[in-house]
């Protein structure tokens, strides 16, 4: 007797909602045809839209390959019988209408952009797998009470504008127009100009952000399927991870500038080499993470830009982008603060100018008990092994959790590798992940026939 509890309204306590999700007889009886190899074939086709030769995948926001990938995603959505819409930020939706079209949606999705020299599965699994889940539900004759949707979020990766999760930040209403306007790509192009050239955008930043906005009233739940990007599931032989929290990410850009000069003629005592300030700071970043007292603290100086980058020239400009993450927000903020202070000390000692730009400093997210319970019920009806776990990577779920009850489903990936060309997840693990996603969404949306029976 699931649906009556679910229909008691928004005021129903979590416990009742959880009980409702655990029951749902028709959703439990679903037999879905999910072909893991067919999904892999689609992922590998998507991977061909890349700025670097496969197996590496590089796909940067609104470039030619990103636009081709978007075209392929829309083709898959259309073939699955989904209704397509796109918003002003470039997020792409495929919708399977529910029996009650006015109801809040049960949503899934992830991203298709890829950092330089990445692999074929990060993010893409949650989009292509999400389309496969909705397609299988539709083909099994399942009519959801609430609409189901799959979203391809714009630019989860901080590549072109150095900002992560652009689409989901805008949806959640936590992306500031002035801040987005201040971002520029390496050619000086603004986000609005790039979005407009790609056929998205709006007259102003405010209108563009508003065009992507969602509210809690639009969203009954959000659940994202993703490869784990770490080794635990594979090491333990566990088939499914159910994510209970997402670690808090921060990113800063530190720029040092010195006077440069000729590498032969500029004598050592009078140099102020910007790259050496950056090198010292990078060593401090490692030290800050190692001395934080927890394995949950990680910090990386992963982006370097040195100018003029010539063997016979003293480096004049050095820009570092630094990623700091922790489960514990205060400890993460302490790390960010100490990196800022150290940058100032190094600049003073080395007589270089410097500036620090905090790109993002986000809160962690906690999964919603009702969505975790739905995923756990789906796993148990499918007979898979599972564990609850924390996501150390960030995802669009970090921001969707601010406007919708949210959780994530992880599958194992080989050696825990990700953000590498040899990223890999097996067809069998992919099929299991998509099954769990589809069953979870069916539980969260309710079965229209089930609801009618109980009227």
**Of residues 48 and 300, the one with the C-beta less far from ligand GLV:** 300
**Of residues 118 and 368, the one with the C-beta less far from ligand GLV:** 118
Q: Indicate which of ligand GLV, Mn ion, none lies near residue 315 (CB less than 5 to 8 Å, by partner kind).
A: none
Residue 215 beta carbon to Mn ion: minimum distance, rounded to whole angstroms: 25
**Of residues 391 and 440, the one with the C-beta less far from ligand GLV:** 391
Restricting to residues 88-147, which ones interact with Mn ion according to CB under 5 A?
A: 122-123
- For CA atoms 185, 190, 196, 197, the dihedral sign is negative
Residue 312 beta carbon to Mn ion: minimum distance, rounded to whole angstroms: 37
Range list of β-strands (E), 211-352: 219-227, 240-246, 248-257, 298-307, 317-326
Where on the chain is the footprint of ligand GLV (CB under 6 A)?
157, 393-394
Restricting to residues 62-81, which ones interact with Mn ion according to CB under 5 A?
A: none
Restricting to residues 382-441, which ones interact with Mn ion according to CB under 5 A?
A: none
Chain centre to alpha carbon of residue 426 = 21
Q: Indicate which of ligand GLV, Mn ion, none lies near residue 394 (CB less than 5 to 8 Å, by partner kind).
A: ligand GLV
Contact criterion met (CB below 8 Å) for 296 and 328 = yes
CA distance 455 to 453: 6
Residue 157 beta carbon to ligand GLV: minimum distance, rounded to whole angstroms: 6
Site membership for Mn ion, residue 323 (CB under 5 A): no
* Closest residue to bound ligand GLV by CB: 393
Residue 123 beta carbon to Mn ion: minimum distance, rounded to whole angstroms: 4
**Of residues 157 and 273, the one with the C-beta less far from ligand GLV:** 157
**Of residues 214 and 226, the one with the C-beta less far from Mn ion:** 226
Residues with Cβ within 8 Å of 259's Cβ and at least 6 positions away in sequence, in order, are 271, 272, 314, 316
Q: Looking at the DSSP assignment, which residues form a beta bridge with residue 133?
A: none
**Of residues 320 and 445, the one with the C-beta less far from ligand GLV:** 320
Residue of 218, 216, 160 lying closest to 188 (CA atoms): 160
> Residue 431 is encoded by which pair of tokens?
């099929």
Phi (first) and psi of residue 12, to 5 degrees: -60, 130
Contact criterion met (CB below 8 Å) for 121 and 77 = no
> Residue 298 is encoded by which pair of tokens?
């990680």
Q: Indicate which of Mn ion, ligand GLV, none lies near residue 191 (CB less than 5 to 8 Å, by partner kind).
A: none
Residue 17 beta carbon to ligand GLV: minimum distance, rounded to whole angstroms: 30
**Of residues 393 and 408, the one with the C-beta less far from ligand GLV:** 393
Cβ-count burial of 244 within 10 angstroms (0-12 exposed, 13-18 middle, 19+ buried)?
A: middle
Residue 162 beta carbon to ligand GLV: minimum distance, rounded to whole angstroms: 12
Residue 164 beta carbon to Mn ion: minimum distance, rounded to whole angstroms: 9
Chain centre to alpha carbon of residue 173 = 16
The binding site for Mn ion (CB under 5 A) comprises: 122-123
């Amino acid at each position: 007797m699931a649906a009556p509890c679910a229909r008691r309204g928004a005021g129903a306590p979590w416990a009742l909602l959880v009980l409702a999700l655990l029951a749902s007889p028709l959703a439990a009886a679903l037999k879905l045809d999910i072909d893991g190899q067919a999904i892999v074939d689609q992922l590998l086709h998507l991977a061909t839209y890349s700025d670097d030769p496969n197996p590496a995948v590089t796909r940067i926001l609104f470039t030619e390959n990103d636009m081709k990938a978007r075209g392929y995603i829309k083709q898959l959505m259309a073939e699955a019988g989904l209704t397509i819409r796109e918003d002003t930020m470039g997020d792409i939706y495929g919708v399977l209408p529910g029996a009650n079209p006015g109801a809040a949606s049960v949503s899934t999705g992830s991203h298709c952009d890829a950092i330089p020299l990445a692999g074929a599965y990060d993010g893409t699994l949650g989009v292509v797998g999400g389309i496969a889940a909705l397609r299988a539900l539709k083909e099994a004759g399942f009519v959801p009470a609430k609409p189901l949707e799959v979203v391809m979020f714009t630019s989860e990766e901080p590549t072109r504008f150095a900002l992560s999760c652009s689409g989901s930040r805008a949806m959640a209403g936590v992306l500031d127009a002035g801040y987005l306007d201040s971002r520029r790509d390496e050619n000086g192009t603004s986000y609005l100009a790039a979005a407009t050239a790609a056929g998205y955008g709006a007259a102003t930043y405010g209108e563009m952000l508003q065009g992507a906005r969602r509210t809690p009233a639009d969203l009954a739940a959000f659940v994202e399927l993703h490869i784990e990007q770490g080794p635990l599931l594979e090491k333990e032989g566990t088939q499914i991870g159910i994510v209970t929290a997402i670690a808090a990410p921060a990113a800063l850009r530190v720029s040092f500038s010195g006077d440069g000069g000729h590498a032969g003629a500029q004598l050592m005592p009078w140099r102020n080499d910007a790259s050496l300030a950056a090198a010292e700071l990078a060593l401090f970043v490692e030290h800050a993470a190692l001395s934080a007292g927890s394995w949950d603290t990680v910090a990386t100086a992963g982006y370097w830009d040195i100018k003029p980058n010539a063997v016979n020239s003293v480096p004049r400009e050095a820009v570092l982008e630094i990623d700091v993450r922790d489960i514990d927000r205060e400890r993460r903020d302490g790390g960010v603060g100490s990196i800022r202070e150290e940058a100032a000390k190094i600049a003073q000692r080395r007589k270089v100018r410097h500036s620090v730009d905090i790109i993002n400093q986000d809160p962690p997210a906690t999964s919603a008990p009702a969505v975790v319970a739905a995923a756990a019920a789906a796993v148990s009806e499918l007979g898979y092994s599972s564990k609850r776990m924390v996501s150390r990577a960030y995802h669009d779920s970090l921001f969707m959790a601010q406007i919708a009850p949210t959780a994530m489903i992880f599958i194992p990936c080989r050696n825990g590798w990700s953000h590498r060309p040899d990223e890999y997840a097996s067809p069998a693990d992919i099929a299991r992940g998509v099954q769990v996603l589809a069953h979870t969404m069916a539980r969260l949306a309710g079965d229209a026939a089930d609801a009618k029976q109980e009227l």
